[in-house]
A and B are shown apart, each in its own frame.
Chain A
């Protein structure tokens, strides 16, 4: 019996012998004394597409920020490529919901500015321009190279932000609700684009959203946060649908609908518990 189990475990470890990209160990974070995150443990494998989900205030964006190294946890340790992010920002690119581009620079200039830091002085201006144009064409923005962010639609801006992230060449991308402000069609296009990036270029992606369908369509694993504060990980859900996923077929399948209900129920469970908690407090308070 033990042998069988051992064999099973071996098999399992063989399956996941992909190296770790990110390891977060017992992360704690507070802001002005308010607990935002408590005891978060998470490992992300190389090439994985991990989506953080949870209601507002669950600390999912804060946790992403800690992973990018822009803020430091109060307790615990974060390793990216087996190196602590406490000393220097990890090799990664970040796409924010907005603000990923500087509005006083054109799409091309934004990318060149980022490329310049990355490549130091090894490239001439002309080469940098060509590189930037190449990445913009890759996201179908060839026509908007000289456009300023203010002249672009929200979808174009996020495309340009993705082009910039890609140009940095890092195999790790953090995306904080990047499509949150976009219309459905643009959103679908960009989801496909980012899946393609994940698949074809083997880039690890950590993505924050509160949209269940988006999470399921994109993710290998969904990390569900409880409503904070403090946010905790309620559950880590493996998405059972093989990639590449066909959106139409997937969304129409019964399995998908069941799974989506399950994901939502995990999220709602947390929300209801939170509501009851605050209700009890109120009732208790009135008794005084």
Chain B
């Protein structure tokens, strides 16, 4: 904890200065429209009133994000492994990967709405497209860039099948797989909020859109802060998991 303060003393000071400025401007000046920029106390009150709704929204959002992400993980890593290891098929399909992967997933919304029966399934589909490509391409890259000596090493001890995949190929390519997953997570929040703000009847994005329509910006701000905290928490957890999985890239050796 002491180390934390030592490291982030200035960051903490800046945060408090910002908060102080916000209190000052909203309470003691008329620089900002009080409807759109409510003072912090009012936002805190709104936060307290809405906390239950905010959590419901969070669960609803996760109901879209988790299935989409899980599917993207399975198909992205599974497919990436397959195409990383099968040179011929990869070469044949590479042009399609290159064509489709950079497309904004929101382009497919008309078809998602037309083809899927509910808003929920359509959103999961769009979120899946969003999260699939970075994981899939990251895995292919990861497999292709495995150091050749690891392959030699695996061959000399006769590794095959399950052991080869889980003890060598996946760990060796995990740095790039995880970086793909990180990219996916980042995109997924953007798309999730877009989807919820324009079509949903629940969720974190919907909460914000709902109160915007009533110009209740204290609730809007409470929603934005809540979202930020959730996204921050998810990213911190992801970084922790990543660091843990990649522990071997960052070990300190004994002196020679």
Contacts and interface: CB of A to CB of B under 8 A. Distances in A.
Given A99-B153, A105-B167, A153 B158 contact: no
B29 interface: no
B153 A96 contact: yes
A150 interface: yes
- Central interface residue in A99, A154, A186, by most chain B CB within 10 Å: A99
B72 to A, nearest CB: 24
A151 B252 contact: yes
A96 B157 contact: no
Interface string A154-184: 1110000000100010000000000000110
A10 interface: no
Given A93-B156, A113-B167, A99 B255 contact: no
A164 B153 CA distance: 11
A149 B248 CA distance: 8
Interface of A: 68, 70, 89, 92-94, 96, 98-105, 113-114, 116-118, 148-156, 164, 168, 182-183, 186
12 contacts: A70-B155, A92-B156, A96-B152, A102-B167, A102-B168, A116-B163, A117-B158, A148-B251, A150-B249, A151-B252, A153-B256, A156-B254
Contacts of A100: 153
B256 A154 contact: yes
A114 B157 contact: yes
Given A113-B157, A118-B158, A152 B150 contact: no
A155 B168 contact: no
A100 B244 CA distance: 23
B66 interface: no
A117 B156 contact: no
Contacts of A186: 256
A264 B201 CA distance: 83
Contacts of A183: 256
A153 B153 contact: no
B256 A182 contact: yes
A114 B168 CA distance: 12
A168 B157 contact: yes
Q: Which 4 A-B pairs have the closest CB atoms?
A: A150-B251, A99-B149, A114-B157, A104-B171
Given A93-B156, A99-B150, A151 B167 contact: no
Contacts of B256: 153-155, 182-183, 186
A148 B167 CA distance: 14
Contacts of B147: 99
Interface in B240-256: 247-256
Interface in B126-166: 147, 149-150, 152-153, 155-160, 163
Given A101-B153, A104-B171, A151-B252, 11 more contacts: A89-B155, A94-B153, A96-B152, A102-B153, A102-B168, A103-B251, A105-B167, A113-B157, A113-B163, A150-B248, A183-B256
Contacts of A98: 149
Contacts of A154: 256
Contacts of B255: 153
Contact of A117 (B150, B152, B159, B248): B159
A117 B157 contact: yes
A151 B163 contact: no
B242 to A, nearest CB: 14
A266 to B, nearest CB: 30
A100 B157 CA distance: 10
Given A104-B171, A113-B159, A154-B256, A70 B251 contact: no
A148 B254 contact: no
Given A113-B157, A117-B158, A153 B251 contact: no
A94 B168 CA distance: 17
B254 A151 contact: yes
A99 B156 CA distance: 12
Contact of A153 (B163, B171, B253): B253
A104 B252 CA distance: 13
Contacts of A104: 171-172, 248
A186 B254 CA distance: 14
Contact of B171 (A89, A102, A114): A102
A89 B156 contact: yes
Contact of A152 (B152, B167, B254): B254
Contact of B248 (A148, A155, A156): A148
A131 B251 CA distance: 26
Contacts of B168: 102
B138 to A, nearest CB: 18
Given A113-B157, A113-B163, A102 B252 contact: no
